[in-house]
Amino acid sequence: MSYFLTQVLNGLSYGLVLSLIAAGFAIVFTSTGVLNFAHGSIVLLGAYLVAVLHPTIGFWPAMLVALFGAALVGVLINALLVRNLADPTPGAAAILMLGVDIVLLTELTRRIGNQVLPVGAPWGASVVRFGEIALPTGRVVAAGVTVVAFAALWYLFSRTDLGVGMRAAAADGPTASLMGIRLSRTAATGWALAGVLAAVAGVFLTSFPSPGVAPTVALSAFAAIPAWVLGGFDSVPGAVVGGLLIGLTSALVTGYEGDLEHFLGTGFGEVAPYVVMIVVLLVRPSGLLGSKEAVRV
Amino acid sequence: MKHLPRTCALTAAAVTMLSLAACSTTDPNASGEGGGGEGDVTTGSGVTDSEITVGMLTDLSGPFAAGAAVQVTQTNAYWDQVNADGGVCDRDVVVDVQDHGYDPQRAVTLYRSMAPDVIALQQVLGGPTSAAVLPLAEQDDVYVGGVGWTGSALQYENNQLPGASYAVEAANAVDYLVDELGVPEGGRIGVVYFAGDYGGDALAGAEHAAEERGVEIVAQEITSQTTDLSAQASALVQADVAGVVLAAAPTQLASLAGVLATQGADIPIVGMNPTFNPSLLGSPVADALLANAYSITSVAPYASDAPGVQAANELYASVAPDGDVGWEVPLAYVQGELLRQALEGACESGELTPEGVVAALQESSSVDTDGLLPDGLDYSQPGQSPTTTVYVSKVDADAEAGLALLEEFSGPSAESFSYGG
């Protein structure tokens, strides 16, 4: 039983980190309609900033700089590139983001070099024990931070003018604009929020039980894509549910692979998230909590 | 969701377009003959009266850019040194370095454009890129060196593996765990491996050795995106493994060692060639690595005191005093050394042509490299690893590049392993 609980906690704690990344995808898509394929590189950028700055200014100030830096890069990508697209269609924006991802990732790979850079998190490699179950302290902190972050997002979207404006802009941009909502402002807020979430996720993704920042972190961030898609492209709560579901599925399938391999083969833990995503999309094409597409006939 | 279907279609189209690249159809043998015969030596592509051009297809802009840059620096320094000592066959050797960015299509295009002008390829870095280039190079009878250590590369007779293959490394890892690190007969050994050529080859070697040594394998397949190995580590602890063989990358080694330590599993972890990086000793899991991490490599580690390794290290320090150090330094040097020996063999046989270099390789049954690789490498047995000997090192904070050489090792399972056998 403790083994089962260990794997459940492994899955849920990792799933919460995936939720942070998936929520970033969802917020950018909701606020600007862009499939942000550069999000993985922004996750890496946030972690990289903490890794290079913490030896001189300390972990927490480095974290603040990383949050601001990742948010700023997101805002600049939107202001300088996305908004100036000659053909502002979602397809063109997606291709643009693939290009941005290549540029960012190449530069970060060049800077990181052949190293694995520790982020210097104060919890180090310590663990919290719940009876027989040991969970990395970093993951416990991640769970707490994630819950606070999502509570703040809920408050923003449901209780503030800015958040309500963002939802209105997402639902019907032209009408929202006619109602006096500045679309440029809601878009910039969305990109900045996604950048902040990416930086937070980047730090948790690269602190124990991971050793530090390496270029593959950008690829690891793409493990959140099934969480984003099955949660619903435009739903932050969906991203949370999706992240938890994917984390749990991966951990349990990996944990019980020895019992499952007779009919599923080895390595199914890597495939399982995508199988779950496909099954969910077959039943609910808009994802678990995504908006249904309205078709006028 | 309003734009979703159109978005997805456009995105799919974009990705498809990005993944397509043009392929040249130039026949490398159709042109590019060198300076013709000189004296008793017949020359071919990439050879003039004064120069021999060798190619290097590497990754200067993709995921392995940092390690590749070290290898390019060391390769250029190696050939400069050879040229200063009189060159090969009375000619200077020049290196044509091209960047494939870890993209197989680009590697094929670059190979097609490069092949008419080089006598051999010292290196095609990367599994998928070399898998794309090797069959073409075999058709063209062009030597290819240093493509990693996957068993699948052994089927090409134009390929020169720099030391033992991954399967042989993993078989040795199991032997070492049983003989030296206390895994009992009937015990269990975890194998955590990347999906694909590298991990698959290592798993095959480990399974062979497990059968030979009466131990049971608990396999966990992962990908390079798996940087948190909590679930895998918990599963290995639950299976009560007494040791782990790891065919992955440094990030995975650190994560696995750290999580196993927190779960109270004080068991040895033996990693293959690319699993250790000295920078891991600055991570929070350094203590766990120092306690339990070992490395099995085909090439002697940086800290070896063998004359070849010392020569390689000194050469690198002279051209890149502040450069990153690690296993790439002796590796790049020995790849140059292997190619130099093949070029000299071709020269001695009077055939300084791509075909002559491949023939010289195939006739090499006892290659020595001053301790950079195990002595007596046998390249005359196509399809088999050129040696069964590997280097076993322990992670050590006091050793240069973090690995202290324990011994050269050739276990009984590695010696009984054969591809297709």
* Same domain for B283 and B189: yes
* Same domain for B137 and B264: no
- The answer to whether residue A183 sits within a structural domain is yes
- The alpha-carbon gap from B231 to the nearest alpha carbon of chain A, in Å, equals 5
- Return mean pLDDT, chain A: 89
Domain tally, chain B: 2
Judge: A216–B230 Cβ closer than 8 Å, yes or no.
no
Note the pLDDT of residue B99. Answer: 93
- The answer to whether residue A190 sits within a structural domain is yes
* Residue A259 sits at the chain B interface (C-beta within 8 Å): no
* Same domain for B39 and B73: yes
Note the pLDDT of residue B208. Answer: 97
Task: Give the domain CATH number at B124.
Answer: 3.40.50.2300
- The answer to whether residue B333 sits within a structural domain is yes
- The answer to whether residue A80 sits within a structural domain is yes
* Same domain for B207 and B343: no
Note the pLDDT of residue A109. Answer: 86
- The answer to whether residue B1 sits within a structural domain is no
Note the pLDDT of residue B356. Answer: 96
- The answer to whether residue B52 sits within a structural domain is yes
- The answer to whether residue A126 sits within a structural domain is yes
| Percent of chain B whose pLDDT exceeds 70 | 90
* Same domain for B263 and B195: yes
* Same domain for B278 and B200: yes
Q: Which residue has the higher pLDDT, A37 or A286?
A: A37
Neighbours of B97 (CB within 10 A): 17
Judge: B220–A254 Cβ closer than 8 Å, yes or no.
yes
* Same domain for B188 and B243: yes
Which whole number is the average pLDDT over B236-260? 94
Note the pLDDT of residue B23. Answer: 35
- Return mean pLDDT, chain B: 88
- The answer to whether residue A122 sits within a structural domain is yes
Q: How far apart are CA A111 and CA B45, in angstroms?
A: 38
Task: Report residue A46 as tokens.
Answer: 């946030």
Judge: B230–A14 Cβ closer than 8 Å, yes or no.
yes
* Same domain for B148 and B49: yes
- Domain of residue A152: give its range: 13-214
Note the pLDDT of residue B39. Answer: 55
Residue A157 has pLDDT above 70, yes or no: yes
* Same domain for B293 and B410: yes
- The answer to whether residue B377 sits within a structural domain is no
* Same domain for B55 and B142: yes
Which of A211, A292, A294 is the closest to B254 by Cβ? A211
- The answer to whether residue A33 sits within a structural domain is yes
Q: How far apart are CA B357 and CA B362, in angstroms?
A: 9
* Residue B206 sits at the chain A interface (C-beta within 8 Å): no
| Percent of chain B whose pLDDT exceeds 90 | 70
Which whole number is the average pLDDT over B129-138? 92
CA-nearest of B189, B193, B195, B205 to B275 is B193
- The answer to whether residue A263 sits within a structural domain is no
Judge: A136–B3 Cβ closer than 8 Å, yes or no.
no
* Model pLDDT for residues A230-274, shown as the tens digit of each residue: 998 888 899 999 999 999 998 998 888 777 766 666 677 778 889
* Same domain for B409 and B352: no
- The answer to whether residue B4 sits within a structural domain is no
* Model pLDDT for residues A6-30, shown as the tens digit of each residue: 899 989 999 999 999 999 999 999 8
Domain tally, chain A: 1
Question: Which segment of B29-38, B113-122, B392-401 scores lowest on mean pLDDT?
Answer: B29-38
Q: How far apart are CA B94 and CA B87, in angstroms?
A: 10
* Same domain for B90 and B52: yes
Q: How far apart are CA A220 and CA B40, in angstroms?
A: 57
Torsion region of B46: left, alpha or beta (phi above 0 gives left; psi -120 to 50 gives alpha): left
* Cβ-Cβ contacts under 8 Å, B332 against chain A: none
- Domain of residue B330: give its range: 32-163+306-362
Note the pLDDT of residue B128. Answer: 80
Torsion region of A118: left, alpha or beta (phi above 0 gives left; psi -120 to 50 gives alpha): beta
Q: How far apart are CA B121 and CA B118, in angstroms?
A: 7
- The answer to whether residue A268 sits within a structural domain is no
